[in-house]
A and B are shown apart, each in its own frame.
Chain A
Amino acid sequence: NAGVTQTPKFRVLKTGQSMTLLCAQDMNHEYMYWYRQDPGMGLRLIHYSVGEGTTAKGEVPDGYNVSRLKKQNFLLGLESAAPSQTSVYFCASSGVRGKNIQYFGAGDFGAGTRLSVL
């Protein structure tokens, strides 16, 4: 299993440009998440999905959109990038086993995307 794969790994944007970050998982996980990580602020949840075709807002959703058209993919879009969106973005996934007990595996984070907006 490849686990959670994020593309791209690095990207530089100019203010106002748009881009899409792709997250793919091959563990048949139900839940997928997008986090951003800024120095001294830990991991903050942007959006998440509890299943194919569903999405929900996290702590810091403004300026981002997401889609989960296929169970294995979770896309994060920036329609008009701003310097405040300079960050490291992590995707994660988790599954459900037995009586709806969610579990988070050791390999459930992607390697991250380092985004700079100039």
Chain B
Amino acid sequence: GENVEQHPSTLSVQEGDSAVIKCTYSDSASNYFPWYKQELGKRPQLIIDIRSNVGEKKDQRIAVTLNKTAKHFSLHITETQPEDSAVYFCAASDGYGNKLVFGAGTILRVKS
């Protein structure tokens, strides 16, 4: 079945710097890759997603890139702000498109 690995597990950046979180997946049939942000004690919230027919997608300060050949995708956050501090999860759909498999998460700390 699908396996998703996420790195790093923790990431500290200075306010205004960029942050990059990387994920790899194993199932070449995966075609949907969302990213979720989870603040302490809250539910995961979808922040951006990408489908396999697109290489890059951007939404204001966040962007996601996908390399299908290498089977990895990344989240890029520019001009980080303290409110970006949270746990970020990547996910990949299984080959049937029925469910998501999540990475273990990255704790992002933005220091002001």
User: What is the CB-to-nearest-CB distance from B41 to chain A, in angstroms, rounded to a whole number?
Assistant: 8
A106-B45, A109-B45 known; A41-B99 Cβ under 8 A: no
A43:B32 contact, CB within 8 angstroms: no
A105 to B34, CA, bound (A): 10
Judged by DSSP, the binding face of A is loop
Total interface residues in chain B, CB < 8 Å: 21
Most buried by B among A33, A43, A45, A90: A43
A41 to B87, CA, bound (A): 12
B99:A112 contact, CB within 8 angstroms: no
B104:A42 contact, CB within 8 angstroms: yes
A84 to B42, CA, bound (A): 22
Q: For window 1-33 of chain B, which residues contact chain A by CB distance below 8 Å?
A: 6, 9, 32
A109 to B93, CA, bound (A): 16
B44:A90 contact, CB within 8 angstroms: yes
User: What is the CB-to-nearest-CB distance from A111 to chain B, in angstroms, rounded to a whole number?
Assistant: 5
A117 at the interface (CB under 8 A from B): no
> Which residues of chain A are near B63, meaning CB under 8 Å?
none
B98 at the interface (CB under 8 A from A): yes
B99:A33 contact, CB within 8 angstroms: yes
The residues of B with any CB-CB pair to A shorter than 8 Å are 6, 9, 32, 34, 42-46, 49, 89, 93, 97-105
